[in-house]
Structure 1
Amino acid sequence: MALRNQSTITEFILLGLSTVPHVQALLFVLFLGIYLLTVMGNCMVLLVIRVDCHLHTPMYFFLSHLSFLDLCFSSVTVPKMLENFLSQRKTISVRCCLAQVFFVVLTAGMEGCLLSVMAYDRYAAICHPLLYGQIMSKQLYMQLVWGSWGLGFLDAFINILLAMDLVFCEAHIIHHFSCEMPSILPLSCSDVSRNIIVLLCSVILHGLGSFLLVSLSYARIISTILSISSTTGRSKAFSTCSSHLIAVTLYYGSAVLRHLMPNSGSLMELIFSVQYSVITPMLNPLIYSLKNKEVKAAVRRTLGKYLKQIKCSNKDRSS
C-alpha cells in the first residue's frame, strides 16, 4: 500500500481536449451525442443477436462480445470526459486514475484479442468452408472468447499491480482526457523501469501478437479470395469479411499511431486517442449493421416482431 502511505498528492489534473469554455460546451454536446449513439448502437446489436435465432453462430457470438466490449471501452473514459467539460476543476483522484488505467488496459487489450479471434473465424469460414462447422466448434469458440478475457485481465492486473507501488510527488498534470499508463508513468518520482519493461512486453506480446494473428489470417484470406475464378464468388467471399477488416483497420491504425507518438499532449496524439477509444466503439455497430445483410434482416425482423406486439396490445386495450 505504498500509494496510501508515501504519495504526496492525491489527485491529478486532466487537461482534456480544450480549456476554452465555449469550445468545451460544444465538445460536451458532441461527445454526449457520440456516447449516446455508442450505447444505443451496441445495445441494439446485443439485443438483436440475443433474440434472433438466425444469428446464433460463432461469428455473431464474437460480435456480441465485441459490442459489449465497445460499450465498456467507451464507458471507461467518456463519462469522466463529459464531467470535465462542465467542471472548473478537472481533477481525478489517484485511485480513480489507476482504476481507469486498469480498465483501459483491460478493454483495449481484450479488443485486440477479440479482433484476432474474429479474423481467425473469417479465415476458417472462407478458406475452409466445408470444414467450418468442425473447426469452429462451440467448445473452441467459447474457449477463444474466455481465453481472450483471461489474457486481457491478466495483462491489466500485472500492469496495475506494479503501478500501485508508484509514488507521485510533484507533477500532477496529465496532458490527456483520460488516464493511460504512458501518461502517468512520467509523473512518478519512483523508479518506473519495471513498469516500462512490463508495459513494453504487454504491447509486444499482447498488442503486436494479436495484430500478427490478424495479419496472418487476412494474408490467407486474401490469397484464397484471389484464387477464386468467378468475380461473383470473389465479391461474395470478400463481403463476408469486409466489415471486420474495416473495424480492424480503424482500431489498430489509430491505436498503433497513438502509442508510437511521444506523450506530449499534442493535437494528433489526442485525435488518435479519441479515434480508437471513443469513435471506433460508436462506428463498429454501424459498420456491422450497414454492411451485413444478415444483421439488417435480423433488425427488421426484431423491429417487426416488437411493432406487431405493440399493435396487438393496443387492440386488446381498445377492445
Structure 2
Amino acid sequence: NVFRKLLSHGEKEKDDVLSLEEILAKSSEKKPPQAVGTLQRTGKAKLRALREAMYHSTEHGHVDITIDIRSLGVPWTLHTWLESLRTCFLQHRRPLIQGLLKDFSCIQEEEYTAELITHGLPLMFQILHASKNEVISQLSVIFSQCYGPFPIPKLTEIRRKQTSRLDPHFLNNKEMSDVTFLVEEKPFYAHKVLLFTASARFKSLLQNRPAAENTYIEISHVKYNIFQLVMQYLYCGGTESLHIMNTEIMELLSAAKFFQLEALQRHCEIICSKNIAVETCVDIYKHAKVRGNGNKPTYTVQNVF
C-alpha cells in the first residue's frame, strides 16, 4: 500500500507539471529541445529506480510489489522472473504462477544465462510435478521454446566392419571352442579368435583369465539370454539377425555398453527411441542416467517435450 501511494503521489505531481507546461505552451507550440531532454533524463532515472526497486522486492520475497512494478512496463530480467516464480511456488499462489509463466516470452533471449539451466529448469520441473492442466500446458510451451525450433536429431546405426567373423554354426558350440563363459551357472562356449578383436573389454577378459586349463570366465551381472544375444551379434557380424524383445532391450543396452560394443549399443538406443512413450519415458530416462548411456537421456527428454 505504501508503495502504491508513493507511485500515485509521483503521478499526481507529474500531472501538475504537465498541466503547467500546457498553459505555458500556449505561447509556443513546440517545446524547447532542452526541456525535451530533461523529461527524457527524468524518465530514464525513474526506470532505473523502478528496476532497482523490482530487484530488491524480488530478493526479499515481496512478489506483489514486483508484479505492481512489472505492470508499469518495467521489463523482466531472468533473475527477477525466476525468483518471483520461486516465491509464488513456495507460497502456493497458483494464479500468479500462471501469470508469470505466460510472461516468460517477454524475457529477451539475451537474458538466457546459465541460471536458466542451473536454477530455472529444476524449479520448473518441480512446478510441473506438482501441477496440472493449464500450468502444464504453459510449461510445455516454455520447454519447447528453450529447446528451439530445430528438429530432434535422429540416431543412426553405426556400421563397423568386424575384423574377425565365424559361421553362426559355431555359436555356443562346444566343438573347437577354446574359451568357456559361465553365465547364470550355465556354460557358454566361444572362440578366442573372434572375441580377441571384438572389443577391448573382451580382450581384457581373455588376457586376465586364470592360466589353468578348463577354467571358466564368469559373467555375473548379465543374464544368460542377454549374453546369448551379445554373442549372436558377434558371430553373425551385425544386428540384422537379432530378434530383441521389448523386455530385453534395456538389459541388452547395458550389456553392450559393458562389453564396449558401440554398434550394438547404438542399435539398442535406436530401438529405445522408437519405443519412447508417456508410459515408458520415465523408466528409460532413469535407466539411461544410472547406466550413463550417452545419447539416450537427452533424446528421451527431447522426444517427451
TM-score grouping bracket, smaller chain normalisation: under 0.3
**More helix per residue:** 1
Question: TM-score, length-normalised on structure 1?
Answer: 0.20
Report which structure shows greater RCO (CA 8 Å, sep ≥6): 1
Instruction: Report the TM-score when normalising by structure 2.
Output: 0.21
